[in-house]
Amino acid sequence: MANNYSVWRNGNSLVLVDKTINEACRHDMLNIQLAAYLAACNGGVSGADGDSWLNEYIRVQSSFGCTLATLRSQTISMVPVAAFKPWDMLCDSLLQATPHRLREAVAQCLAACASSETRDDRTGERWDLGEHPGDTGLNYAHAEVRLVLPEYSIISTQLNLGSREPLDPDWLWQLFDPQTVQACWQFQGQYLIDSRRMNLIGPGLAKKLQGKLAHHRSEISVQEPNHD
């Protein structure tokens, strides 16, 4: 059931897209998100000023017809009390917000994504969100996992942390000691898509992003887990 979804690295997000969504709509949704990511980064990267980054990210998506359903959203500031891996926190948060009927398929897809055999189609290497600046005395990391549903809605979960520990290249699977984590917040929300608005802005947005896709987007080859 992992193959119910196509999987994309899009900016600093991992995006699971239901395969019943047609190609044009899929690219429009990915383009809206990527445009918002680039605008929020404004030539830099997310991290120390995570709240401002998130606000701009949400605002730009809304301007393109991808509106946050605020009543189902929350930002939680916290520092975990036990050792943790960012990937596990992101997956747990996403699955909690996923409709029950889809959880098994989504969980299998996420498990397949975590496999060391999963590769970025463009580079042939293990996928990496690669968002970890460290210019304020802390090493910051920020990532999002989102699920695009066929009814034109998106479930999103994000994690932003600042750690005194050096960050591994594959920091999503790094085990962090809570005593070294000075800042940590999670965001969970659901976006609703205005399909008419998306169709109107789609062609122009695709043209604007054309030169940026090679660097910021790639499909991830995900294999069904072997249960033998």
Domains of the chain, with CATH numbers? 2-221 (3.40.198)
Copy the structure tokens of residue 222: 């995900």
Q: Is the pLDDT of residue 140 over 60?
A: yes
Q: CA 171, CA 167: separation in Å to the nearest integer?
A: 6
User: Does residue 101 or residue 74 have the better pLDDT?
Assistant: 101
Q: At what angle do helices 86-97 and 103-113 cross, to 10 degrees?
A: 160
Question: Average pLDDT of the chain?
Answer: 85
Residue 68 has pLDDT above 70, yes or no: yes
CA 168, 172, 177, 179 torsion: positive or negative?
positive
- pLDDT tens for 169-190 read 888 999 999 888 887 888 889 9
**pLDDT band (50, 70, 90) for residue 209:** very high
pLDDT, position 71: 44
Which residue would you say has higher pLDDT here, 2 or 148? Answer: 148
Cα of 42 vs its chain's centroid, Å: 18
What pLDDT shows up at residue 88?
94
* pLDDT band, residue 82 (cuts 50/70/90): confident
Residue 227, pLDDT > 70, answer no
| Long-range pairs for 114-122: beta carbons < 8 A, 24 or more residues apart | 114/87, 114/173, 115/223, 115/225, 117/223, 118/220, 118/221, 118/222, 118/223, 119/220, 119/221, 120/9, 120/218, 120/219, 120/220, 120/221, 121/218, 121/219, 121/220, 121/221, 122/214, 122/218, 122/219
Backbone φ and ψ of 140, nearest 5°: -95, 145
- Whole-number pLDDT of residue 166: 87
Structure confidence at residue 169 (pLDDT) = 81
Higher pLDDT, residue 49 or 132: 49
* Residue 144 vs residue 126, higher pLDDT: 144
